[in-house]
């Protein structure tokens, strides 16, 4: 863990979730970083159940976190002023239209690094692909996948563990990652 505001906010919120016994998975840009592609992010994205979110809010609002607005899934770390977005298990990434990919229960889909639970690589890639495919303006999600393929030296076969709906986009991005820039040679 670093000393940037977003990293401090991550440590605070995950520490609180651990204290309350609420399962979570860090996703978004911080999970991308944890899987080897360093990029800047200014918010914390956490996968949680609806019950976990209710428990967190009941025990934590006003004690270092405030709702962005009444009834919001998002909160703000009041110390570092960092937005924290909660993605709910069972929800649909991207445009919200059913295509078979859903946000999973965080239990069983994480890896632990330095005491923090991050979304496992395959699930992170699957959710980013679902978001990028269903919402064409979410180009950062597709760029994240392309870079994760590159920095992790993922093979074409990696796509077989992803939901069938996103496999074609994974294959396309994988093929693109194999291309060489002739001007760089």
- What would the pLDDT profile of 42-89 be if each residue is shown by its tens digit? 999 999 999 999 999 999 999 999 999 999 999 999 999 999 999 999
Query: Average per-residue pLDDT in the chain?
Result: 95
Cα angle at 39 between 37 and 41, to 5 degrees? Answer: 130
Going along the chain from its start, the domains and CATH numbers come out as 5-179 (3.30.460.40)
Band of residue 179 on the pLDDT scale cut at 50, 70, 90 = confident
Name the pTM for this structure: 0.94
Closest CA to 109 of 94, 95, 125, 132: 125
In terms of Cβ atoms closer than 10 Å to its own Cβ (0-12, 13-18, 19+), residue 149 is: buried
Helix or strand (DSSP H, E) at 66: strand 65-67
pLDDT at res. 106: 98
Place of tokens 């995950």: 14
């Amino acid at each position: 863990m670093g000393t940037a505001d977003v990293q401090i906010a991550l440590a605070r919120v995950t520490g609180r979730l651990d204290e309350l016994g609420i399962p979570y998975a860090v996703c978004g840009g911080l999970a991308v970083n944890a899987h080897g592609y360093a990029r800047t992010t200014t918010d914390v994205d956490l996968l949680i159940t609806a019950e976990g979110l209710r428990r967190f809010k009941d025990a934590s609002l006003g004690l270092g976190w405030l709702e962005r607005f009444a009834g919001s899934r998002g909160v703000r770390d009041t110390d570092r002023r960092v937005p924290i977005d909660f993605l709910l298990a069972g929800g649909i990434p991207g445009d919200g239209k059913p295509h078979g990919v859903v946000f999973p229960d965080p239990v069983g889909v994480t890896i632990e690094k330095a005491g923090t639970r991050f979304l496992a690589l395959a699930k992170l890639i699957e959710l980013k692909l679902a978001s990028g495919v269903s919402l064409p303006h979410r180009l950062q999600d597709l760029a994240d996948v392309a870079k994760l393929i590159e920095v992790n030296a993922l093979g074409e076969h990696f796509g077989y563990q992803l939901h069938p709906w996103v496999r074609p986009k994974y294959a396309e991005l994988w093929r693109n990652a194999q291309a060489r820039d002739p001007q760089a040679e």
